[in-house]
Homo-oligomer: A and B are copies of this chain.
């Protein structure tokens, strides 16, 4: 393995000069630099980032704390899309990514700070964490630069990227209202999830602004699961048959709602309109295709990385970025039929 020492020897200069030449310092004779670069190439030199990191206390590395990279969640590609976005940006800005695992009990023994310090990451992006996760508290106490996905915390070292979930939900519900619906139920995720809280807010806001009363018992939790959502929708519909539309806080739950309707012989969208959230791949493939709120997930990842690196390099003023959502109208929602 070639080191700068080797280069120094061959080029007949000192290691100091080699270091300076290779790192583009100005105070090196152009001749000398050329020579050094040449030799480096010739010897097929690659710098040792460990050694560099050791002395510089910077590694040009971003840690990724992603919950849900396990067997159960392998089919959820939200996380993957975020990852792709992060990856793309990191690569453009020449950072490497290191994946921490937060799932296995083994790693759980290590604290967040330990994880980061051991690997000397410059900063961290956290995705898929819940509001009540113990890591979250640590994040805010530690002084390691960090960007959260979909959790609105902003401090000197912590920032976040999210979409406007209130507005997104509002758009969906308003769409239903415009179709003539007044009896609109909501299947939410779970209360600890920030996005759930926001989407609920959007739902209530839309109703109120249109003079529709919010009925608490028409708001049920589907825990972001298809099966669970199906169950709650079944019981919801049996107890309140006058509901004509359901807004679901995720497409997966909308799928569950769809199944519930199928089972009950309720025709969607003729008898009941359904709107989802996320615009997952499946949304356009199911029958009927799902009306849903689309967020550019890749972009979320990209912006998260971009924000973090800006923070690391002292280029960020505000530590948050909010992305837009877009209502995608498909076939699961329709104008209400007057009976």
Q: Name A51's contact: one of B1, B54, B79, B298 (CB within 8 Å).
A: B54
Evaluate contact between B49 and A71: CB separation under 8 angstroms.
Answer: no
Docked pose: A118 CA to B287 CA in angstroms: 50
User: How many chain copies does the complex carry?
Assistant: 2
- Which among A51, A117, A282 has the highest number of chain B CB atoms within 10 Å? A117
**What size tier do the contact residues of chain A reach?**
35 or more
Q: Name A80's contact: one of B79, B98, B287 (CB within 8 Å).
A: B79
Knowing A97-B99, A99-B99, A118-B47, the reply to whether A70 touches B83 (Cβ < 8 A) is: no
Docked pose: A84 CA to B73 CA in angstroms: 8
Evaluate contact between A104 and B88: CB separation under 8 angstroms.
Answer: yes
- When distances are taken between beta carbons in the complex, the residues of chain B under 8 Å from A80 are 74, 77, 79-80, 83
Q: Name A48's contact: one of B92, B120, B282 (CB within 8 Å).
A: B120
Docked pose: A53 CA to B98 CA in angstroms: 15
Q: Does A107 contact B (CB under 8 A)?
A: yes
Q: Does A218 contact B (CB under 8 A)?
A: no
Docked pose: A64 CA to B99 CA in angstroms: 10
- When distances are taken between beta carbons in the complex, the residues of chain B under 8 Å from A69 are 83-84, 87-88
Q: Does A266 contact B (CB under 8 A)?
A: no
Docked pose: A104 CA to B86 CA in angstroms: 13
Chain A 73-101 interface mask (CB, 8 Å, partner B; 1/0): 11111011101110110111010111111
- When distances are taken between beta carbons in the complex, the residues of chain B under 8 Å from A70 are 84, 87-88
Q: What is the CB-to-nearest-CB distance from A89 to chain B, in angstroms, rounded to a whole number?
A: 10
Evaluate contact between A49 and B84: CB separation under 8 angstroms.
Answer: no
- Which among A47, A107, A114, A119 has the highest number of chain B CB atoms within 10 Å? A119
- When distances are taken between beta carbons in the complex, the residues of chain B under 8 Å from A75 are 77, 81, 281
Q: Name A107's contact: one of B1, B91, B119, B282 (CB within 8 Å).
A: B91
Chain A 95-138 interface mask (CB, 8 Å, partner B; 1/0): 01111110110110000011001111000000000000000000
Q: What is the CB-to-nearest-CB distance from A112 to chain B, in angstroms, rounded to a whole number?
A: 11
Q: Does A183 contact B (CB under 8 A)?
A: no
- When distances are taken between beta carbons in the complex, the residues of chain B under 8 Å from A118 are 46-49
- When distances are taken between beta carbons in the complex, the residues of chain B under 8 Å from A49 are 118-120
Q: Does A250 contact B (CB under 8 A)?
A: no
Docked pose: A80 CA to B79 CA in angstroms: 9
Nearest residue, chain B, Cβ from A99: B97
Smallest CB-CB A-B distances: 3 pairs: A80-B80, A91-B101, A97-B99
- 7 A-B residue pairings within 8 Å (CB atoms): A46-B114, A48-B117, A69-B84, A75-B281, A83-B83, A92-B106, A94-B106
A-to-B contact residues, CB < 8 Å? 1, 46-51, 53-54, 59, 61, 64, 69-71, 73-77, 79-81, 83-85, 87-88, 90-92, 94, 96-101, 103-104, 106-107, 113-114, 117-120, 281-282, 285-287, 297-298
